[in-house]
Every structure is written in C-alpha cells, then in structure tokens.
Amino acid sequence: MNGRDDFDPQLLELRRGTIVLACLHLLRHAGYGYGLLEDLARHGFAADANTLYPLLRRLEKQGYLTSEWNTEETRPRKFYLTSASGLRLADTLTTEWAALTGAIASLTHGRTE
C-alpha cells in the first residue's frame, strides 16, 4: 500500500533544515553555488539548485555567511564562507541533531528490548 512516494512529504519534512546545517559546516572552507551543490550531493544531502541558491543569499543576509567575488578564474564566482555567528549556529544545530539522534535511538532501542 504505502510505496515510497507516499512517504515523500514526511521525508521532506524531516530533512528540512538539515541543508542549512550542512551548508554551515561545508562552508567553513569557502565555496560557491554549484560546487556546494555537488558537495552536498556527495555527502548525501539531496538539495535542489532552486532552493540552495536563494538559501545561501538568505543566510548571508542573516549574517551566518559572508561572501566575496572571486574574479581570478575564467568564470567569476561568488564564494561564501561561514561567519563567526554562522559557526555558533552550526554548533547549536549540531548539538540539537545529536540530541535528536539519541532520542530516536532511545525510542527504537526501547521497542526492540
């Protein structure tokens, strides 16, 4: 009855927010839009280009990322770097994620006992 497609809304709901955390971690080393998209995919985060690009600008506006244009290469690219407050946000989110992992583990653990 319940194919994988039926679960998609729940999966999306659960993944929402993880892209922000992943970006904050990945951009501790400067990165640009498409390169970041590939990095995310490589680490197992399925992000769409049309959500990632606006997200980067939003995080920059909120002060969690800084940006700089690099015109040295053939194609000028906008490079983003996680700011100090971005790093603090990443720490908080990571702690929360770890707590959630523990909480979920305690649920499934309790059931198998």
Partner 1 sequence: MTATLTDRYISATVRTLPQDAQADVRAELSASIADDIEARLDQGEVRQDAERAVLTALGDPDVLAASYADRPLQLIGPRYYLTWWRLLKLLWAIVPVTAVVGVLIAQLIADAPIAETIGTLVSVAIGTIVHVGFWTTLVFIILERTGADTGERWTLDALPDPQETGAGRGDLIASLAFLGLAAGALLWDRSIGFVLVAENGVDIGVGLGSQTTAMPVLNAELWPWWLGGMLILIAFEAALAIAVYARHGWNTGFAWLNTALAIVFSTVILHLLITSQLFNPEFVDYTLDRGDVPPEVGRILAILLGAGVVGVSAWNAIDGWLKSRRSVAH
Candidate residues 51, 85, 92, 95; the one interacting with partner 1 per rule CB under 8 A: 51
Q: How far is the CB of 13 from partner 1 (least distance, A)?
A: 16
Residues 62-81 that bind partner 1 (CB under 8 A): 69, 75-78
Select from 50, 6, 42 the least CA-distant residue to 22.
Answer: 42
C-beta atoms surrounding 50 within 10 Å: 8
Residues 26-45 that bind partner 1 (CB under 8 A): 32-35, 37-38
Q: How far is the CB of 2 from partner 1 (least distance, A)?
A: 28
Q: How far is the CB of 78 from partner 1 (least distance, A)?
A: 5
Contact status: 20 vs partner 1 (CB under 8 A): no
Q: How far is the CB of 71 from partner 1 (least distance, A)?
A: 10
Select from 59, 45, 47 the least CA-distant residue to 90.
Answer: 59
Give the Cα separation of 29 and 99 in Å (integer): 26
Strand order in the sheet with 31-32: 31-32, 77-82, 65-70
